[in-house]
Structure 1
């Protein structure tokens, strides 16, 4: 069973990087179950979903899907989309943050370009008091992402980022970030990585996530625990109880369309629960990585095919 899961994970991670299939997916639309975990192809389509989630007591972070932009023009278009998203969050009074990827804003093109785009986005976010989270991508971009985060955090307090527990470097990254009083989303990680940079075994990844959660919370920093794993969630509950950490200092985050009952249960227990709601035409890579994470997610895809 473990071997089959490993094969399945590697297969879907391989597919997530296939450019030909990505182009086909954009033309085909968000079928094959992707509409079960993606909020639509435009932010306007996502607004009613956010309103419903807010009505239920859940808060949200939205992400305009897309990464690895290789033209300056497209990176500026992506920045413009983030700005329009912030404005619509404010005008519709949505309880939502915005997540973004630096490769969609020109990280792979030039430092000057990505910083210019981020400054425009963060100034707009500051105007409307909307929090922005810089998503973490693969390990080759981790260092650059964290350096940009630290540079921007000095002027924009409503800025968070992500640390992945499957990377060996993450414990030192937490030490390095602590002086910035970071708002951190702690996750296991969803990219295919070499054993030279990442823990190869699930137990080691899980143990490191628990360590990072404890460290960041005891450092007094706001912490988002982004996991569907019951063991991680139970660990966090016990930890905050033992150390009298108030519920205002942390939140649980889960993906839209997954573990819905658990989200409701945590909400009823008085915890803050934030739903990660992606939208956009570039849903393919995100969807493949979700299939890679849990074999059970494949059922969403099959259900999507036969319910069309």
Structure 2
């Protein structure tokens, strides 16, 4: 019920106003979003690179309503690619199809994506182009996104892949479909509210499909991205690759900016490739709410994460960190109370 409520709040303009205006809520959000500007995101990416971590940059936004907005999103995507090359960063790009106009016109969206992919290919250096990931949105877009990747590959754009969600019942078929293509896949659990006819209602089934799909992808050798903070699944991946003699260089773990930085560092020190998903921009509210909804315990976990890291940096930071976490939780509580009154 809490997950469902969080997802509904992510789509509510009123809840957005309450939470974003709550004292220090924005400060809390900035713990998990690199900033409003590309410059801030690039600085965050450089710091992560210096720590041995690669990056996927994502300019937040989705479901644009006009062609001008979609074209501006494509322009920003190209600006990010050019900045990655100019500053010599170990980074790729994540974009959402609806941000580039999928809801407006599919051919128009594809033309925008092709502009981005063409520029990524031009800017890339050996061994190939800068990789671009089409983020997966709700199940209403799954078939269109998978088909979009297939069509792009058929036309020679092999520097693109997408994301599959283990919560969806169709995912094993999509894994086979995109693996046959040779496309790189980011595997996630999923963060959208879906009907039981489309998605598994039980977490155990989502986890089971994740592990099964993960093993298929690891054996296929298409450099999958295992996007999870679930240590049981991470341990399962480590055991499976060790037992099968699968190289650590043939896949990567992916984690979110600001979440489990201790685990990111530990895996990197053990010789695994680790990529951090770095979102930026002022459209942080729906992104953060979906991250909380993925596992409602994240509401407390994220607040605790801020405070734990503050304590490790010195007792003087403890009170500000506590205030940041408390401010966000207060905003969330107000939004939940508003929702219940409706």
* TM-score bucket (shorter structure): over 0.9
Shift of 1:216: 1.4
Aligned to 1:263: 264
Distance 1:286 1:19 in 2: 14
Q: Deviations over 1:230-286 (max 9, x none)?
A: 111001001111111111210000000001101111011000000000001111100
Which SS does the other structure have where 2:149 is aligned? Answer: helix
Distance 1:227 1:156 in 2: 27
Which SS does the other structure have where 2:200 is aligned? Answer: coil
Distance 2:242 2:162 in 1: 25
Distance change (3 Å), C-alpha of 1:98 and 1:25: farther
User: What is the Cα-based RMSD across aligned positions, in Å?
Assistant: 2.0
Q: Do residues 195 (structure 1) and 199 (structure 2) align?
A: no
Which is higher, the Rg of structure 1 or of structure 2?
2
Q: Deviations over 1:113-164 (max 9, x none)?
A: 1011001100111112211001100001100000001111231222121011
Aligned to 2:336: none
Q: Do residues 111 (structure 1) and 112 (structure 2) align?
A: no
Distance change (3 Å), C-alpha of 1:182 and 1:244: same
TM-score of the aligned structures, taking structure 2 as reference length: 0.84
Aligned to 1:222: 223
Aligned to 1:134: 134
**Where does the alignment leave 5 or more consecutive residues of structure 1 unmatched?**
1-6
Aligned to 2:69: 74
Distance change (3 Å), C-alpha of 1:206 and 1:116: same
Give the number of equivalent residue pairs: 302
Aligned to 1:244: 245
Q: Do residues 304 (structure 1) and 324 (structure 2) align?
A: yes
Shift of 1:18: 1.2
Distance 2:29 2:289 in 1: 9
**Where does the alignment leave 5 or more consecutive residues of structure 2 unmatched?**
125-129, 304-321, 329-342
Aligned to 1:86: 81
Which SS does the other structure have where 1:195 is aligned? Answer: coil
Distance 1:22 1:142 in 2: 26
Q: Do residues 124 (structure 1) and 119 (structure 2) align?
A: yes
Which SS does the other structure have where 2:136 is aligned? Answer: coil
Which SS does the other structure have where 2:30 is aligned? Answer: helix
Distance 1:138 1:188 in 2: 12
Q: Deviations over 1:189-210 (max 9, x none)?
A: 0001100100110010000000
Aligned to 1:253: 254
| Pairs within 5 Å for 1:168-207 | 168-207=169-208
Which SS does the other structure have where 1:273 is aligned? Answer: strand
Retained in 2: the 8 A contact 1:38–1:256? yes
Distance 1:219 1:306 in 2: 45
Retained in 2: the 8 A contact 1:188–1:205? yes
- Within the candidate set 52, 74, 88, 1:57 is matched to 52
Distance 1:116 1:27 in 2: 38
Which SS does the other structure have where 1:67 is aligned? Answer: coil
Shift of 1:51: 0.7
| Pairs within 5 Å for 1:37-56 | 37-56=32-51
Q: Deviations over 1:151-184 (max 9, x none)?
A: 1123122212101100000111112222211100
Shift of 1:293: 2.2
Aligned to 1:4: none
Q: Is 20-29 or 197-206 further displaced after alignment?
A: 20-29
Retained in 2: the 8 A contact 1:33–1:303? no
Aligned to 1:17: 11
Which SS does the other structure have where 1:57 is aligned? Answer: coil
Shift of 1:23: 6.7
Aligned to 1:95: 90
Which SS does the other structure have where 1:33 is aligned? Answer: helix
